[in-house]
Amino acid sequence: MINVMIVEDDPMVAEINKQYLSKMDGFRLAAQASSVDEAIRLLGKEDIQLILLDIFMPGKQGLDLLAYLRKNDHEIDVIIISAASDLDRIQKALRHGVADYLIKPFEFERFHTALASYQNKTRFIDKQEAVSQQELDNYLLNREENTIVDELPKGLTRDTLKQVWNAIQELKVFPFSTDEVSNIVGISRVSARKYLNFLKDLGILEVKVIYGTVGRPVYQHEFNPYKEHLIKNFL
């Protein structure tokens, strides 16, 4: 469970952030502050892993809290949620190592993407002691090797993709074959392979081809939880 602090002086915006956060599994609202000074006091009382931070606040601003965290070596991540859209402030926030930057107003979808990406990185880091260059690029530096896909390829439908996705949720604990998905969904092996290849192109699945002594090759698929958020635009 990731403990979160919301630092926001506007009660209405703070409430929206709370509601959005409550829709995210794996996150817990541990503290809420309406000023930087209050946030610093609460840091001494709560074990916080992530701060959702506004920049514009009375008195000290959000960038002051960022500077405080880095100066005092607090191992706390920060996602900025602010109306500040000028590049000067954005650059300062990025130089302080913020995990993401959301410009108000924003939709829940963007909020979900930010927190899901952060959660995936956190899970990946918790499981690893060392990484390869490819893992570092793909999981932590967001340098995707896969082609960015904006829409379903021709011949694929959203409804069937949902059925394939539901089948994968049943099978994803272990490597699974095209035939297993085909049998659960009730579509041909050729059709199932098209959908699985699409998910492979997104990076959600990793595919290994196993050649037996006789017969056709078997395609074994392994689920990549760190790319799961990429499917949301297609369901």
How confident is the prediction along the chain (235 residues), in pLDDT tens digits per residue?
A: 999 999 999 999 999 999 999 988 899 999 999 999 999 999 988 899 999 999 999 889 999 999 999 999 898 999 999 999 899 999 999 999 899 999 988 888 889 888 988 888 888 777 777 877 776 776 667 655 444 455 788 899 999 999 999 999 999 888 999 999 999 999 999 999 999 999 988 888 988 877 655 566 677 898 887 778 888 878 8
Tell me what pLDDT residue 227 has: 78
CB 103 within 8 A of CB 122: no
Q: Is 192 helix (H, G, I), strand (E, B) or coil?
A: helix
Rounded to whole angstroms, the Cα distance separating 110 from 106 reads 7
Rounded to whole angstroms, the Cα distance separating 230 from 220 reads 21
CB 205 within 8 A of CB 212: no
CB 9 within 8 A of CB 54: yes
CB 60 within 8 A of CB 36: yes
Q: Is 80 helix (H, G, I), strand (E, B) or coil?
A: strand
Rounded to whole angstroms, the Cα distance separating 101 from 25 reads 21
φ/ψ region of 89 (left if φ > 0, alpha if ψ in -120 to 50, else beta) reads alpha
Tell me what pLDDT residue 146 has: 45
Strand-pairing partners, residue 218, are 210
Tell me what pLDDT residue 154 has: 87
CB 79 within 8 A of CB 100: yes
Strand-pairing partners, residue 222, are 206
Tell me what pLDDT residue 147 has: 44
Tell me what pLDDT residue 34 has: 95
Strand-pairing partners, residue 79, are 52, 100
